[in-house]
Chain A
């Protein structure tokens, strides 16, 4: 009985299609010059370049500063999740790096864990630290968070100085290198007649983790549902709550994920330096990571990479300016905020030679006072049809494609 009565109706229902868009949409961008495609190809090429670098020069100095630069990129990507995507100013971010470094340092030197085995504990410790600080304070305004995180950074540093298990003021020494199920970097490896030393192997490991997994992971996270929630909370928390996003949960998740990024980077840092001590985790370093994110462009993956590389490599190139360095950084922070608040490579910036998606103007037929401009649009459309049969691409004066174009650019950003 049900079959007889319901089926025709279901059949009819299934034939209902979604209403067509009122206007024809421009086709999706494709080809090598589509911004998204181009940026990921560029990223891949640069990643491969970083992997091939030891074949060009394997001097310990170059490998060492590049390793720390890439760890720095990872730290900055973690802070970018917190500051750039979720808009939470974290001034004690280096504390999470310290938590990670100390957790893996203590476990490996005093309890005989291998570095790989410490990773779950590092992640757990950072999640815990993030929850302890973020939990109570993220319900408040962001200014409070800024100063609370500053205090938290100091708490971690002072605690590390005063506890016995962290080695006090002299810190922890002799943190081992990574090993995987009995095979350690320290042994080195010989492949095809080329000997890779422990340093070079660790460099590869860092490039892979920091540039590959961390950077791509953070960028992908930002493009997903969670990332969109972060960005909407950053832009307008009330509006996003009205749209059904739990602002507190979104902020807390950004804070905790950022903490995990920092902690894993800290664990890498501990191995790289093989010794850690409280002065490595002063406010100065939090400010420098923030500087990297702000200078490059908050929320922009290429920008943050550029910023992090600049901040970490500048001291090497500016040896003569060692005294001036931090002063210059401070002034730069102010100047960038005043003249270029979105950073060097803003989040929605698209390289000029890449394809642009141009949306046709939206007609405003139903609004009486827009009747006059209706004629203009009709004229412009005629012109368009005459000029190009393909997707309309000619610029139209002042009819509001601007906002839509912005939207498409945002959609296609890296």
Chain B
């Protein structure tokens, strides 16, 4: 027990926070889109996957040109990927979701499944089904803090993730466009009457959410070193779980939910073993939904069943 506290505890917490920051980044996009148009964007996890594949291509080109890759180049690639995945997110919204905005929710959900399918197998068609090795692998010495091991890339990635979340938070809470988003989340029709360009704001939401997912994809590729066309599926599910745990539609909830889920997983894996990790996560989802469906930070709204 003493051993556990001295060696394992910090390591588990750190691992949980690290993985949780990825989840939070993806969950933010999920939660934002859900908050604004009440759509479960199943393709969101696949945009994460798309992000790592775009970075795979761009970074591969950069490594080919320069002969080497370094952290600043990775950051540049991250920026390019974010813009590209954001654009793809907007495109998806225009092509697949916008024509269905007034149809029943079942139709939109099925469309989202179709989009997810299209992206996954489109990528498979281009890159093949085998996992690809990411051209840049974040190495670096590890140092120990409070008995746990931390590597430099982990710190850098967490800082990037935290920075992105801080920028998003400031954008939504302080800027005029962010206020428009919050207004639409409250009542789309009323904001339309007040002169908010609803279509444009929805597009912008998709752009931001997809860009964040893309960023998470690049970071995951750089950290884990291998990517494949189905990697977005599980992350999408977990990001949704994170969003639900935090309270879906709530910005801070998504961040908190991601971290909580990361910690839960980290400890769950320690207790049950790695092969049961996903089972544990989804069991948490079901448990959370049955006990507190509005999440930790979600408002107690009288919800239509």
B279 interface hit (Cβ, 8 Å): yes
Contact of B289 with A142 in the complex, beta carbons under 8 Å: no
Pick the residue among B40, B116, B125, B283 that contacts A147 (CB under 8 A).
B40
Contact of B107 with A341 in the complex, beta carbons under 8 Å: yes
B255 interface hit (Cβ, 8 Å): no
B69 interface hit (Cβ, 8 Å): no
The distance from the CB of A333 to the nearest CB of chain B, in whole angstroms, is 3
Total residue contacts A-B, CB cutoff 8 A: 129
Contact of B114 with A136 in the complex, beta carbons under 8 Å: no
B233 interface hit (Cβ, 8 Å): yes
B54 interface hit (Cβ, 8 Å): no
The distance from the CB of A328 to the nearest CB of chain B, in whole angstroms, is 9
Task: Please tell me which stretch of A122-130, A155-163, A255-263, A359-367 contacts chain B, meaning at least 4 of its Cβ atoms lie within 8 angstroms of it.
Answer: A155-163
Distance in angstroms between the alpha carbons of A136 and B285 in the assembled complex: 11
Pick the residue among A140, A150, A334 that contacts B115 (CB under 8 A).
A334
Distance in angstroms between the alpha carbons of A136 and B115 in the assembled complex: 29
B103 interface hit (Cβ, 8 Å): yes
Contact of B121 with A337 in the complex, beta carbons under 8 Å: no
Contact of A155 with B282 in the complex, beta carbons under 8 Å: yes
Considering only CB atoms and an 8 Å cut-off, how many residues of chain B contact the other chain?
48
Chain B interface, DSSP helix/strand/loop, else mixed:
helix
Known contacts: A140-B305, A334-B114, A341-B107. The answer to whether A283 contacts B233 by CB under 8 A is: yes
Distance in angstroms between the alpha carbons of A333 and B121 in the assembled complex: 13
Pick the residue among B111, B122, B293, B304 that contacts A337 (CB under 8 A).
B111
B212-236 to A contact mask, C-beta < 8 Å, 1/0 = 0000000000000000000001100
Closest to B40 in A: A143
A91 interface hit (Cβ, 8 Å): yes
Pick the residue among A148, A237, A323 that contacts B285 (CB under 8 A).
A148
Contact of B276 with A136 in the complex, beta carbons under 8 Å: no
Contact of A158 with B278 in the complex, beta carbons under 8 Å: yes
The distance from the CB of B244 to the nearest CB of chain A, in whole angstroms, is 8
Considering only CB atoms and an 8 Å cut-off, how many residues of chain A contact the other chain?
46
Q: Which residues of A contact B40 (CB under 8 A)?
A: 143, 146-147
Contact of B286 with A330 in the complex, beta carbons under 8 Å: no
Distance in angstroms between the alpha carbons of A137 and B117 in the assembled complex: 25
Pick the residue among B107, B117, B240, B276 that contacts A158 (CB under 8 A).
B276
Residues of A125-183 at the interface with B, using a CB-CB cut-off of 8 Å, are 133, 136-137, 139-144, 146-148, 150-152, 154-155, 158-159, 161-162
Contact of A331 with B237 in the complex, beta carbons under 8 Å: no
Contact of B109 with A137 in the complex, beta carbons under 8 Å: no
Closest to B34 in A: A143
A265 interface hit (Cβ, 8 Å): no
Known contacts: A151-B285, A155-B283, A333-B114. The answer to whether A146 contacts B290 by CB under 8 A is: no
Contact of A337 with B110 in the complex, beta carbons under 8 Å: yes
Closest to B118 in A: A330
Contact of B278 with A144 in the complex, beta carbons under 8 Å: no
Closest to A238 in B: B304
Q: Which residues of A contact B109 (CB under 8 A)?
A: 89, 142-143, 146
Contact of A323 with B125 in the complex, beta carbons under 8 Å: yes
Which has the most chain B C-beta neighbours within 10 Å: A283, A330, A332? A330
Contact of A137 with B290 in the complex, beta carbons under 8 Å: yes
The distance from the CB of B298 to the nearest CB of chain A, in whole angstroms, is 12
Contact of B121 with A158 in the complex, beta carbons under 8 Å: no
Known contacts: A89-B109, A136-B289, A333-B110. The answer to whether A341 contacts B103 by CB under 8 A is: yes
Distance in angstroms between the alpha carbons of A142 and B305 in the assembled complex: 8
Distance in angstroms between the alpha carbons of A162 and B96 in the assembled complex: 38
Pick the residue among A150, A152, A162, A283 that contacts B275 (CB under 8 A).
A162
Contact of A338 with B285 in the complex, beta carbons under 8 Å: no
A83 interface hit (Cβ, 8 Å): yes
The distance from the CB of A343 to the nearest CB of chain B, in whole angstroms, is 11
A247 interface hit (Cβ, 8 Å): yes
A87 interface hit (Cβ, 8 Å): yes
Given contacts A136-B286, A158-B276, A334-B96, 10 further A-B contacts (CB under 8 A): A137-B286, A137-B290, A140-B293, A143-B38, A158-B278, A283-B233, A287-B117, A323-B125, A330-B116, A338-B100
User: Can you identify 9 A-B contacts, CB atoms within 8 angstroms?
Assistant: A137-B286, A142-B106, A148-B282, A162-B275, A326-B120, A327-B117, A327-B125, A330-B122, A337-B108
